[in-house]
Chain A
Amino acid sequence: EIVLTQSPGTLSLSPGERATLSCRASQSVSSTYLAWYQQKPGQAPRLLIYGASSRATGIPDRFSGSGSGTDFTLTISRLEPEDFAVYYCQQYGRSPLTFGGGTKVEIK
């Protein structure tokens, strides 16, 4: 099983600041089969990024994904008030599909 470790656990930032979220895999994630999701309280997760760097439909370009192998990053270039949420990475290259533990981005 591929274990995904997200860091930091909590990121305290102000609107307008840049957020950098890390996701590290215990084994190489094949063909960059890595996705990122955003989840707000009481809501279902929403797909942000797939294929490590492709934005999903309707996702603003302030969200970007990068990385390969075992190290991946989600960057939010300038935080908007609606971006404060929990973010999860997920690998879908090998069964079982696995998620990271999440990073909470909170208002400082």
Chain B
Amino acid sequence: EVQLLESGGGLVQPGGSLRLSCAASGFTFSSYAMSWVRQAPGKGLEWVSNISESSGSKYYADSVKGRFIISRDNSKNTLYLQMNSLRADDTAVYYCAKSMPYFDLWGRGTLVTVSS
């Protein structure tokens, strides 16, 4: 089955760190760029970051630049998002998505809550 499965979300204090993972299955992971998209509670969608197939190119939204790091391990079919210096406005459901560059496959998401 073609799917993406995120993990690693949870409650973290402001200023803390968290690493999200996204396990891919059912398709050739190493052949596709991948992205992270987030959605704050009751709000719309916001693109966060994307990474090329071989990790040669990485892009970030201004809101997370310098704090978040996207990476991937093609041998493990896994996408990562290292989130540092977390703020309350980073609270959201984080989705990983296969990039075509439109997003044709999404995971179910993992909730990150930044609160003291």
Contact = CB atoms under 8 A, between A and B. Distances in A.
Interface of A: 33, 35, 37, 39, 43-47, 50-51, 56-57, 88, 90, 92, 95-102
B80 interface: no
Nearest to B45: A99
B27 interface: no
Interface string B89-116: 0000001000011111111110000000
26 contacts: A35-B102, A37-B103, A39-B45, A43-B108, A44-B95, A44-B109, A45-B95, A46-B106, A47-B103, A50-B100, A57-B104, A88-B44, A88-B45, A90-B45, A92-B101, A92-B102, A96-B59, A96-B61, A96-B62, A98-B47, A99-B44, A99-B45, A99-B46, A100-B44, A101-B44, A102-B45
Interface residues of B, number: 20
Interface in B67-106: 95, 100-106
Contacts of B104: 47, 50, 56-57
Contacts of A95: 59
Nearest to A57: B104
Interface of B: 35, 44-47, 50, 59, 61-62, 95, 100-109
B47 A35 contact: no
A contacts with B: majority SS: loop
Contacts of A90: 45, 102-103
B103 A45 contact: yes
A51 B109 CA distance: 25
Contact of B102 (A44, A50, A57, A96): A50
Contacts of B50: 97
Contacts of A47: 102-105
A96 B103 contact: no
Contacts of B105: 47
Q: Nearest 10 pairs between A and B by C-beta?
A: A44-B106, A35-B102, A97-B47, A50-B102, A99-B45, A92-B101, A47-B104, A102-B44, A101-B44, A92-B102
